[in-house]
Structure 1
Amino acid sequence: MTIDHGVWAAPGRINLIGEHTDYCDGFVLPFALPQRTVVTASRLDRPEWTVSSTLTGETVTFDLSEPVTGWAAYVAAVVWVLRDAGHEVPGARLSIDSDVPGGAGLSSSAALECAVLAALADLGGLDIPLERRPLLAQRAENAYVGMPCGVMDQSASTLCREGHALFLDCRSMATEHVPLDLAGQGLAILVIDSRAPHQLVDGEYAARRAACERAAALLGVPALRDATLDDLSRLDDELLFRRARHVVTENARVLDTIALLREGRLREIGPLMTASHASMRDDFEITVPEVDEAVETALSAGAYGARMTGGGFGGCVLALVEAEKAATVAEAVTAAFAARGFNPPTTFLALPSPGAHRLS
């Protein structure tokens, strides 16, 4: 059944743990945020798409006869990937609004892709099972936009459930919705947006992925998910060794975190979060002074654990704190940033929220 118009939403995401493991066929544990991208869409009777953004005030019209660039490329990418998969995508007029912070490592791009995909699928009556949508959205970003991301962001934005984290095996695409009852244990996850520049399609992310693929090839395994710490001793290249060590140890930290969450031992995941950050800082080298400062200050102010989240080189830190101490930790980080001359950070509490869905 097709419809003529409607409103759809898809959320940003935070990754509790499991960074740069998704494109290594590994494990991740994100959850969806209440912040979301909203797409109001209506069908057109011609193969043309007009997209307006309330954030930029711009309107872009395209028919895929020429490449689309800028923010509208994410919309064009979804149209392109659906058509390439053999779907008859309806022309549409789309208006986009969002409160997912851009450039903060909270996956604003995946939220846009997944909201547009949900809208076009419903407008066209396209038979696309929910579990297939993350891979389509990932391919849109990989092949059309040129960002070699894994599938975590699109999976979280599409599949997450309220009150749960999404345990995703990025090889099999098997999922488990793991309860994350923070409030029930008097806890909160404080998100600290460092407001440091966060640019991923500039070669650094791609370089990390290439290093991981090179290390896997040298070890003779399909992906680093299949490697052990003992295997890594066969890597003569120190840089590749450290890149691979991050992925191998990070996968183990995800599995350890899952085991603790299944037992309701939420506070005990804190040291795993902090170890994840140290690995991103020292082995993967994707942190910046702002996020390192946020982590160190949050821990000093009483957080059980803290880590950068997202692809790196800026973005956000999440800290596991007693709910009653969240404001105190946020104030400590703000003061530390001021003392170092950094831009003032912004903070909010992250609540596990639902994935993409139709609003009306």
Structure 2
Amino acid sequence: MVFRCPVKNAIDDGPSSAVVRLFRQRFDNCDPQWLIRCPGRVNLIGEHIDYSDYSVLPMAIEHSTWIAVGPSPERTVQLVNEEEEKYPPFTLAIPDSFSGASSNGAVPKWHHYFLAGWRGILESLAQREGVNTEAEALQRAKGMRAVVASRIPPSAGLSSSSALVCAAALATLCVQSADFGGGDGGGQQIFEHISKKELAEITTHAERFVGLEGGGMDQACECLARRGEALRIDFRPLGWRAVQLPENALFAVLHSNTEMNKTASAYYNQRVVECRIAAQVIAKQSGCLPADTDWRSVRTLRQVAALLGKDGHPEQMLTLVDEHLAKRCQRQQQQKLADGIHTREEICAILDCSDAQLAQWSLNANTQNMTEFWLAKRARHVYAEAARVLEFERVCREGREDNGTVAKLGELMNASHLSCAQLFECSCPELDQTVANCLSAGCIGARLTGAGWGGCAVALVDKNKSAQLEANGLNVLFWSEPCEGIEVFAFSG
């Protein structure tokens, strides 16, 4: 939905005030034509399983990224951030190749996230028009001016980077589509060009331009969320449905006081690769592949579960993880399972491939030098976490408005954090301590949220006891209930 309003209606005490005023200051006292708001998100359960094609259960939060945007008379993309000292202004003369708009393997700066969304929309529109070359797509690019302000804490696991990519993509769509803005009702056609679902898919792919091979949870939540409801988001195909949380449930977000730049680190992409290889090894060793395919066609742990007839029952895959991935060791005269490392050479032997073939079909650009892989631990987390998502939704759907319902949800969140810490190894001492502090203060359940390795934890509390918990010393960054997804406001002057 597009909201049409006078520019003056955006001037209030909130972040929209900051971007509109700064837009005027920096761009010759011109008004922006559109204002974009994209929320952050907190994942309630289902961590690191979206890129294995398993469902997740996040909600959008009030803290958002805002972009004021308008066309430019020049063929440039002029970007200004409210925090100019931390995020310097950037101007891009529209090039004839997208390589001029990317970080080209270096640690991306803030404007690269904006330009990732910009590129995603330009490529999508070009494909729809039958344009097949970068040069032709960029010839159609219009100049634009944008001011960005964000209230989402960065590197906190609340999807600040994805919110910027999504907001930038929608801002670009507004500028590129000539029938937006001008004339009464023109703005109502915005999602007739690209739907919110398509926007989520475009921006999921666009984040690869900044080196992140994510699964799409962040973009789907930020684009599709509705106020008052969490979302169960499914992948391949992308789908979603509302999940009504218990009336007495409230969520606290707490910062661990340590940050993690997941794109600058190889950890995230290493986990993607470990999950992919785990799926390929299970497929190869279980003999589930059709006669006309081989292990190279397997990309996700859910895919191999479907081949084995266990799609929808991820918990049934745990015994197969033990059978095909867990190494064995002798302890006290008994044979026991151990979560040992698979070396690169061992994986090549299992898959009957060369090292070059493994690099081509299983690794990604950031993991070419990996030599050791924790396959069993990663797969065990994914299948158990996928089962917890289904159980979380079932409890919400069937539960009563009583303490028993939220207690069960809390148990699932606690189990999720333990799995993230011990099996997926995406926590850190500061996050573990934050979760422990939540539980000792009286929270019902708590877990890391987001990629991990720093950032934030989310805790489930009884809405009627929030003041008491803060009195107990719980240092809450903010309280949140489910918020609306991405929005665009078209100004009429």
CA shift, 1:32, in A, is 0.4
Q: Over residues 243-294 of structure 1, what are the superposed CA-to-partner deviations in whole Å (9 max), with x where a residue is unaligned?
A: 1000000000000001111124440211000000000010001111111111
2:271 corresponds to which letter in structure 1?
R
**1:218 corresponds to 2:218:** no
Q: How does 1:301-312 map to 2 (within 5 A)?
A: 301-312=441-452
Question: Equivalent residue for 1:294?
Answer: 434
**Alignment correspondent of 2:378:** 243
The equivalent residue for 1:337 is: none
Is 1:168 the counterpart of 2:308? The answer is no
Q: Can you list the C-alpha shifts for 1:133-152, whole angstroms capped at 9, x where unaligned?
A: 1111111111x111122200
Are the equivalent residues in 1 in contact too, given 2:51–2:215 (CA < 8 A)?
yes
Q: 1:114-193 residue pairs with structure 2 within 5 A?
A: 114-125=166-177, 127-142=193-208, 144-180=209-245, 184-185=247-248, 187-193=249-255
User: Do the aligned partners of residues 123 and 245 (structure 1) sit closer, same or farther apart at CA in structure 2, a change above 3 Å counting?
Assistant: same
CA distance in 1, matches of 2:94, 2:74: 13
TM-score w.r.t. the length of structure 2 is: 0.67
AA matched with 1:210: V
- d(CA) in 2 for partners of 1:286, 1:302: 24
Check whether the contact 2:94–2:141 (CA below 8 A) recurs between aligned residues.
no
Q: Is the 8 A contact 1:190 1:320 kept in 2?
A: yes
**Total equivalences in the alignment:** 345
1:72 corresponds in structure 2 to 111
Secondary structure (helix, strand or coil) at the match of 1:50 reads strand
SS of corresponding position for 1:85: helix
- Matched with 1:342 is none
- Which ranges of structure 2 fall in alignment gaps of 5 or more residues? 5-31, 103-107, 127-139, 178-189, 284-297, 306-316, 328-338, 340-373
Aligned residue for 2:233, secondary structure, equals strand
CA distance in 2, matches of 1:86, 1:6: 19
Deviation (angstroms), 1:346: 5.0
SS of equivalent residue, structure 1 residue 229: helix
**Paired AA for residue 115 in structure 1:** A
Deviations 1:141-168 (A, max 9, x none): 11x1111222000111111000011111
Note the residue ranges of structure 1 that are not aligned, 5 or more in a row: 335-344
Shift of the alpha carbon at 1:59? Answer: 1.2
Deviations 1:292-326 (A, max 9, x none): 11112211222211110000100111111122332
In 1, the alpha carbon distance for the partners of 2:476 and 2:154 equals: 13
Alignment-mate amino acid for residue 255 of structure 2? D
- The percentage of aligned residue pairs carrying the same residue is 34
SS in structure 2 at match of 1:359? strand
Give the Cα separation in 2 of the matches to 1:249 and 1:331: 35
Question: Which of 66, 75, 84 matches 2:123?
Answer: 84
Please identify, of 271-280 and 41-50, the stretch whose mean Cα deviation from structure 2 is larger: 41-50
Is 1:61 the equivalent of 2:61? no
Q: Which one of the candidate residues 287, 294, 318 is aligned to 1:229?
A: 318
Shift in Å, 1:124: 2.2
Q: Distance in 1 between matches of 2:119 and 2:478?
A: 35
Contact kept, 8 Å, 2:76 with 2:144, in 1: the verdict is yes
- Tell me the TM-score normalized by structure 1: 0.90
Task: Tell me the secondary structure at the aligned position of residue 412 of structure 2.
Answer: helix
* Letter aligned with residue 105 of structure 1: G
Secondary structure of 2:275's match? helix
Tell me the CA shift for residue 91 of structure 1: 1.9
1:333 shift after superposition: 5.7
Q: For 1:249-328, list aligned pairs within 5 A.
A: 249-265=384-400, 266-267=405-406, 268-328=408-468
Q: CA deviation at 1:89?
A: 4.1
Distance 1:305 1:20, change over 3 A: same
Give 2:411's aligned amino acid. Answer: P
Partner of 2:70: 42
Q: 1:203 to 1:242 in 2, by over 3 A?
A: same
* 1:177 positional shift: 1.4
State the alpha-carbon separation in 2 of the partners of residues 331 and 205 from structure 1. 36
- Give 1:46 deviation, angstroms: 4.1
